[in-house]
């Protein structure tokens, strides 16, 4: 059999795994066959069915997935001029929310401290430290504010036979945060991924990165019966076949 | 980071901007192609939740690995749809999803059929595509339908149609080539 005969079926994902690998190998060295596959795929794209715009929540989850990899210091609202690393822009929507929370929290701090007996200098120093702390980790502040929300649902995900655990807070509007956790960091090519059990179905709630700190995600809290974290390849998967690392189920 | 209007930017330039971490460029690509991606995933998977998962995954992969798209190797749209198709087919071949799909198949049996000509209207080029399809032999068209929309391997297609595997395999290829010839003659694709 000639490999070329398989190219049409290959372009339509209609080969068994062994034949697909065979073609993959061949394509790495054959320009004309690569070209043929490209042509088939252009034609296939024209056969695609009518577009169906996805609901807004899909874009929300993509944004959450993008924000995951941003180190917390990139979220600081007062330092927009530093480095041009990937993913900075994407976190602006989060930084704005976090900054708003920080301002509210600082207002409270000022009131409490002004009632204290002490020198003005002490108060200023303390406030500066508070400000520095907020600016250093606004995401944590946003998550803390969520944790204190009386309407928040808080889930403690645990493991049966390890010490790993993870605390998750979920607000009625679907804003969620992975909070404290004791998960073992994974190699770069792996990630933790959060799943929700909703109406007896498992849906992905976000990719958490290989060493999750405070991580935002979006999940409609309606009907959530459980939360599970698995270990997956970096980037995450649409459907998991991995065992849970930690899990929580509604009593 | 100033507000840039991406709406007139070509796909290839958008893909390059995504490589430079422009979220606005990703948003524009999403605006243009998420409907096609989601529509294809839902057509193959017959399941809204899974289709949304695939849509999310396709655009996150573009963000995380923008270099996988090579403008020399075809359009961004066909790149995204090829990934959508591949991942959707992976899913339906996984055992857990198969059951749901079979249930849905049964439910949809009285609804929209598998007729590829009814499906195609996604672009302004729909008429030309429909015409190109009508130039195919019945065997070629059925084989392509079952593989592309049904997510079947050519061996499964051969089983379904009661035809030799080799016949189905070559019909898929010859059918795709013939489609391309017709579409090129109509000025839809380039020679």
Burial annotation B135-160 (CB, 10 A radius, 16+ → b, else e): ebeebbbbbbbbbbbbbbbbbbbbee
Distance from CA of B95 to the nearest CA of A (A): 11
Hey, what are A226's tokens? 């459980």
Hey, what are B5's tokens? 């209007």
Alpha-carbon span A213 to A219, nearest angstrom: 18
User: Which residue is it, tokens 């998967």?
Assistant: A237
Beta strand A165-170 pairing with A153-158: antiparallel
Q: Which pLDDT score is estimated for A37? A: 95
Chain A residues 14-73 with CB within 8 Å of chain B: 14-16, 34, 38-55, 57-59, 61-63, 65-66
Please provide the DSSP assignment of A9-34 as one string.
HHHTT-S-HHHHHHHHHHHTT-HHHH
B8-111 placed in CATH 1.10.1740.10: yes
pLDDT top residue among A75 and A62: A62
Alpha-carbon span A148 to A152, nearest angstrom: 7
Report the residue from B81, B94, B174 with minimal CB separation from A45: B81
Q: Which pLDDT score is estimated for B100? A: 54
CB B133 within 8 A of CB B117: yes
Please provide the DSSP assignment of A130-193 as one string.
HHHHHHH-HHHHHHHHHHH-TT-EEEEEE-SSSS-EEEEEE-TTSEEEEEEE-PPPPPTTEEEE
Domain positions in chain B: 8-111, 113-191
Cα atoms found within 13 Å of the Cα of residue A228, Cβ hemisphere only: 22
A122-181 per-position pLDDT tens digit: 555 666 665 565 555 667 777 888 888 888 888 999 988 888 899 898 988 888 888 878
* In chain A, % of residues over pLDDT 90: 23
**Residue B137, strand partner residues:** none
Which residues of chain B have a pLDDT value below 70? 1-4, 95-125, 191
Per-residue DSSP letter, A115: T
Q: What average pLDDT does the structure give for chain A?
A: 75
Determine the topology of domain B113-191 in CATH.
Answer: Arc Repressor Mutant, subunit A (1.10.10)
A217-235 per-position pLDDT tens digit: 888 888 888 899 999 888 8
Cα A148 versus chain centre, distance: 22
Q: Which pLDDT score is estimated for A108? A: 37
Q: In this complex, how many residue pairs, one in chain A and one in chain B, have their CB atoms less than 8 Å apart?
A: 195
Q: Rounded to the nearest 5 degrees, what angle is found at the Cα of B129, between the Cα atoms of B127 and B135?
A: 105
Hey, what are A147's tokens? 């944790």
CB B156 within 8 A of CB B98: no
A116 pLDDT band, cuts 50/70/90, is very low
Helices B126-134 and B165-185: crossing angle in degrees, nearest 10, is: 140
Distance from CA of B132 to the nearest CA of A (A): 11
Q: Which pLDDT score is estimated for B124? A: 56
Q: Which pLDDT score is estimated for A215? A: 85
Answer yes or no: do A89 and B21 touch at CB < 8 A.
Answer: yes
Q: Which pLDDT score is estimated for A148? A: 82
Q: Which pLDDT score is estimated for B157? A: 94
Which H/E stretch holds residue B88? Answer: helix B76-93
* In chain A, % of residues over pLDDT 70: 71
Burial annotation B88-118 (CB, 10 A radius, 16+ → b, else e): bbbbbbeeebeebbeeeeeeeeeeeeeebee
Alpha-carbon span A86 to A112, nearest angstrom: 39
Q: Which pLDDT score is estimated for A214? A: 83
A47-60 per-position pLDDT tens digit: 888 889 999 889 88
**Residue A207, strand partner residues:** A193
Q: Which chain A residues contact residue B56 at CB under 8 A?
A: 58, 61-62, 65, 204, 238
Alpha-carbon span A80 to A75, nearest angstrom: 9
**Residue A208, strand partner residues:** none
The separation between the first and the last C-alpha atoms of chain B, rounded to the nearest angstrom, is 39
Cα A161 versus chain centre, distance: 26
Answer yes or no: do A34 and B73 touch at CB < 8 A.
Answer: yes
Q: Which pLDDT score is estimated for A76? A: 31
Hey, what are B58's tokens? 């396709």
A15: pLDDT strictly greater than 50:
yes
Query: Does the beta carbon of B50 lie under 8 angstroms from any beta carbon of chain A?
Result: yes
Which H/E stretch holds residue B57? Answer: helix B48-64
Answer yes or no: do A47 and B148 touch at CB < 8 A.
Answer: yes
The ipTM (two decimal places) reads 0.85
Q: Which pLDDT score is estimated for A138? A: 64
């Amino acid at each position: 059999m000639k490999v070329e005969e398989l190219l049409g079926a290959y372009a339509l994902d209609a080969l068994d795994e062994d034949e697909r690998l065979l073609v993959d190998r061949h394509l790495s060295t054959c320009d004309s066959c690569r070209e043929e596959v490209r042509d088939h795929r252009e034609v296939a794209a024209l056969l695609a069915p009518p577009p169906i715009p996805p609901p807004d929540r899909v874009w929300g989850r993509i944004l959450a997935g993008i924000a995951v990899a941003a180190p917390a210091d990139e979220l600081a609202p007062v330092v927009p001029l530093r480095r041009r690393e990937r993913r900075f822009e994407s976190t602006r929507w989060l930084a704005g929310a976090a900054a708003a929370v920080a301002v509210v929290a600082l207002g409270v701090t000022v009131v409490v401290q002004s009632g204290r007996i002490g020198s003005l200098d002490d108060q200023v120093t303390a406030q500066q430290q508070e400000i520095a702390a907020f600016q250093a980790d606004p995401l944590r502040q946003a998550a803390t504010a969520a944790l204190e929300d009386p309407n928040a649902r808080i889930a403690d995900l645990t493991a049966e036979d390890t010490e790993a655990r993870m605390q998750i807070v979920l607000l009625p509007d679907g804003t969620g945060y992975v909070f404290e956790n004791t998960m073992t960091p994974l190699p770069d090519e792996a990630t933790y991924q959060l799943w929700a059990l909703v109406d007896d179905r498992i849906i992905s709630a976000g990719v958490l990165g290989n060493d999750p700190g405070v991580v935002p995600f979006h999940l409609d809290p309606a009907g959530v019966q459980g939360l599970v974290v698995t270990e997956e390849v970096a980037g995450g998967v649409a459907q998991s076949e991995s065992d849970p690392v930690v899990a929580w189920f509604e009593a | 980071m100033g507000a840039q209007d991406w709406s007139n930017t070509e796909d290839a330039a958008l893909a390059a901007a995504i490589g430079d971490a422009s979220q606005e460029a990703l948003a524009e690509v999403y605006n243009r192609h998420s409907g096609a991606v989601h529509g294809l995933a839902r057509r193959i998977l017959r399941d809204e939740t899974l289709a949304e998962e695939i849509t999310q995954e396709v655009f996150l992969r573009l963000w995380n690995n923008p270099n996988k798209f090579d403008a020399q190797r075809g359009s961004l749209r066909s790149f995204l749809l090829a990934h959508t198709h591949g991942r959707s087919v992976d899913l339906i071949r996984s055992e857990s999803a198969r059951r749901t799909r079979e249930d849905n198949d049964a439910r949809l049996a009285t609804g929209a059929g598998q007729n590829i000509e009814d499906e195609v209207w996604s672009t302004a080029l729909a008429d030309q595509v429909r015409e190109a399809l009508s130039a195919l032999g019945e065997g070629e068209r059925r084989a392509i339908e079952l593989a592309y929309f049904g997510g079947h391997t050519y061996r499964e297609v051969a089983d379904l149609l009661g035809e030799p595997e080799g016949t189905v395999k070559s019909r898929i290829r010859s059918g795709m080539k013939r489609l391309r010839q017709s579409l090129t003659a109509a000025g839809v694709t380039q020679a």
